[in-house]
Structure 1
């Protein structure tokens, strides 16, 4: 039985060190020709920890507020690579808090994130150096230590940055040994479902439990079990900068598994299937239909299904029943789990069968009444706010108001109240009704429509804009826009070009259409039903 947070005397780092004790020579991270054992990863992350400690980074004394980080922050502006994973572990060893950085951000978006996180150090792929330098210029009072990873891009390093490998090679043990704590933290930045991204502060003690699918109750149990799992080779296909992929990876590691990383900047289904075959992948993480549909197209075209694949974990976007059923035809013994959750709550519900029409609530999932005063139940049914209990974050980084609004004590139980609506039926069953906010989830990326609208309205040719999502086989949902022009109408490609320096590519509209005016209700809120019906016959070219 998994211990509760209060009873769990270890965090992620202590757990992985226990695994490394047991399987030191087993492959830990594989990417192409790079094959690192658990012993090598422990050595490299130890050296990274020494380097960060030598810079004066680590635990912050006297931090008690739940919305403050007790550890100095280290940003990871990296594609999937051994350095991404090493960056997290090395930070833990120095008692620093790693945080994810979306490598698709443009300078203004990145500057907002850096201004919010205030990192002490940034570990980045060299190819991202120019946008990082531009972003740092927009935050003049921020001067983090810059560590660059050579990615073969040929881009010149930022002046003053240090090579990652040189940092490791030159690191020496500190005079006073550092003793990491299970209460040190990892900061997970959201995809911006309620505006700009916010950092969620997770203790490593909590992350060594249900949020990452970790079930061991002791370090001895982890040491004993790991040698039996040489078969466990796990492939996180989405970017590790997204929590679902990172947490999936952490769950596989806790069992003594090997992480297999792809080398492609974007998901390529044929290459992913080939990698799974060549590396005997047993577990794979995907993002709903945006990954499942390309995989199915490749399989239909004759790609050989990897016979080693036994488990697929999907999260972050809808997985259609038809895609699920077809995957099971190619993999008759496959166990597929489709999970619902958020950065603030961890997993809340799952589907384990294509015939299961509703998500099944997890053991720590509740519905909080609209007034946040009670937990709904069979004796007190109704519609309210989906919430989670159990292993939960401390709060939102540097945001007391939002921390207190989201993390509440209801009927003596600490819960995280998400922006999703749910109902409790008279029989006690929880029904999930959908997100309250108008957020577009496209290929696992969460896009806040108002952010895109504000940029579009900043164009002199655009008088008004409404941005929303429509179903897409490729992306699950894609960004589209209804526009009101001041004169000449810009086409979709012109709009994308004009906004390219302000928004990441995945936020730009895939299709646009023009209307005389955006229809709104008497209360000023947009009529989204009208918008979707209007967009269908008018939509321009999509890509």
Structure 2
């Protein structure tokens, strides 16, 4: 059986009653918004898929998704599945040069972008000769708003024309890309086949029946979904341009669920809880404490304001989610399961830690996933209880590799004892009981609010400032962000230190989230005699200067 998400969604839709919501875009502050039903969702995505084919796209061509969370993101993704095109995620925080790299490196033929990003697209268009179709998503409040003269109106495409099924044969080998940060700071396109992701995420298993045998056909899967007593209603609170939210949304639709998006451009805990209350949302995808702490604070400060009794699941991946915050959330709803997932764009299902009102899990401890092992740097398997740190690795359902990067593919997806593994670089130890204790990424990558930030890119940008002689960039513990980007700089002799000027220098050249929250003048040596960066020393200096305990 060839498992393709385009076929899965059609099979689910065929067994879904009319009037069942597939997509909801809430109004500001959790007010009433727009709802797209499953039958309408299928028609709209069929029309968009046909538009791709009518534009001359062929099997495997790339479609860039340059949008915030909105119905159009999921519709465009599904249209790619149906037409056998390849999804490319685009970080909407990127500046023009960063955007150009993604569009160009991915060989995107179509760019679907929100109207708020029109100026960036217009500035890049002449540098992107491979793109032959630009589709502009108009603002939610005015679908008839004028679009750029080089683009077509998204709503015109999805609301007109033939909305019947395409009638094409799809393959489980069809792909989608998830662009993620690379060790040099340049994003890499992780190539996932549909059938691999289907297997990695449990063959469409429902949270209500996670241990069911895999279905034999898409029709059988559709029948199982039709028999579910409750369908998921999910808010992907983190950006769908990242794997956590996107994969959560994909899985929600494999179960015939409804994806609820919000219009706020940054985390607004009040708006999230108001949306959960209004639409009786039952699951939410977040990024650890960066989301959970403000959400808990909102509930604590507004007792009884929101009805969150519909909630039964909170999913987090990508950053620390502390036990005390989990317990605080459970005090407001004891029926929830708090699921802490350990994975990466390069590997799904390394481990998972569930917390309920009846039981807790220590921070950074996970139950190891199937087909996962832990290896030392010389590829020796780590013995449980040995205390020896190693890299977590997964075999089986893993990506094909990185797009157009054979060297990095060979390094991240090595063959060990005849078995191919995915090893993104996360360090951990294996306890006697087989559980994992996560130590962190083996590189010096900074994880700030769920965003990967590689120091080298920020360092090279700071070094272009005429006052800077040398610099190291580190992440220091931060309550809000998990880690705060911090620059430790050595200035040229006779130059005055201006912290805000240096921060602005980065903001003007890179996505703002990559800019240091603090820049500190160094009174220590940043490098060893051999020129190797002393990140540990820079980190200790930054924490000491800022009064942060080591």
Counterpart for residue 208 of structure 1:
198
Structure 1 residue 113 displacement after superposition: 1.2
Structure 1 residue 273 displacement after superposition: 0.4
Counterpart for residue 388 of structure 1:
394
- Structure 2 Cα separation of the partners of residues 490 and 119 of structure 1: 43
Counterpart for residue 172 of structure 2:
182
Counterpart for residue 330 of structure 1:
332
- Structure 2 Cα separation of the partners of residues 532 and 375 of structure 1: 31
Structure 1 residue 489 displacement after superposition: 3.6
Q: 1:389 to 1:175 in 2, by over 3 A?
A: closer
- Structure 2 Cα separation of the partners of residues 14 and 520 of structure 1: 55
Structure 1 residue 435 displacement after superposition: 1.1
Q: Give the total of aligned pairs.
A: 520
Q: 1:470 to 1:401 in 2, by over 3 A?
A: same
Counterpart for residue 265 of structure 2:
265
Q: 1:135 to 1:465 in 2, by over 3 A?
A: farther
Q: Deviations over 1:321-351 (max 9, x none)?
A: 2211211212212100111111111121112
Q: 1:307 to 1:378 in 2, by over 3 A?
A: closer
- Structure 2 Cα separation of the partners of residues 492 and 293 of structure 1: 29
Q: Where do 1:90-489 residues align within 5 Å? A: 90-137=79-126, 139-151=127-139, 157-169=147-159, 171-172=161-162, 177-192=167-182, 194-211=184-201, 214-215=204-205, 216-218=214-216, 219-227=218-226, 228-302=228-302, 303-304=305-306, 306-353=308-355, 354-357=360-363, 358-372=365-379, 375-377=381-383, 382-424=388-430, 430-486=436-492, 487-489=494-496
Q: Quick check: 1:313–1:339 contact (8 Å CA) kept in 2?
A: yes
Counterpart for residue 10 of structure 2:
17
- Structure 2 Cα separation of the partners of residues 378 and 307 of structure 1: 40
- Structure 1 Cα separation of the partners of residues 132 and 338 of structure 2: 42
Structure 1 residue 166 displacement after superposition: 2.4
Q: Secondary structure at the match of 1:56?
A: coil
- Structure 2 Cα separation of the partners of residues 376 and 517 of structure 1: 37
Structure 1 residue 355 displacement after superposition: 3.2
Structure 1 residue 172 displacement after superposition: 4.7
Q: Secondary structure at the match of 2:181?
A: coil
- Structure 1 Cα separation of the partners of residues 37 and 224 of structure 2: 18
Q: Quick check: 2:24–2:35 contact (8 Å CA) kept in 1?
A: yes
Q: 1:457 to 1:397 in 2, by over 3 A?
A: same
- Structure 2 Cα separation of the partners of residues 212 and 120 of structure 1: 32
Q: Quick check: 1:289–1:474 contact (8 Å CA) kept in 2?
A: yes
Q: 1:108 to 1:284 in 2, by over 3 A?
A: same
- Structure 2 Cα separation of the partners of residues 379 and 324 of structure 1: 27
Q: Quick check: 2:4–2:81 contact (8 Å CA) kept in 1?
A: no
- Structure 2 Cα separation of the partners of residues 304 and 377 of structure 1: 48
TM-score of the superposition, structure 2-length normalised? 0.88
The worse-fitting range, judged by mean Cα deviation, of 344-353 and 509-518 is 509-518
Counterpart for residue 4 of structure 1:
none
Q: 1:172 to 1:252 in 2, by over 3 A?
A: closer
Q: 1:120 to 1:427 in 2, by over 3 A?
A: same
Structure 1 residue 412 displacement after superposition: 3.1
Runs of 5+ consecutive residues of structure 1 not aligned to the other structure: 1-7, 60-70
Counterpart for residue 49 of structure 1:
49
The worse-fitting range, judged by mean Cα deviation, of 354-363 and 422-431 is 422-431
- Structure 2 Cα separation of the partners of residues 310 and 429 of structure 1: 25
Structure 1 residue 256 displacement after superposition: 1.5
Q: Quick check: 1:381–1:428 contact (8 Å CA) kept in 2?
A: no
| Aligned alpha-carbon RMSD (Å) | 2.6
Q: Quick check: 1:229–1:255 contact (8 Å CA) kept in 2?
A: no
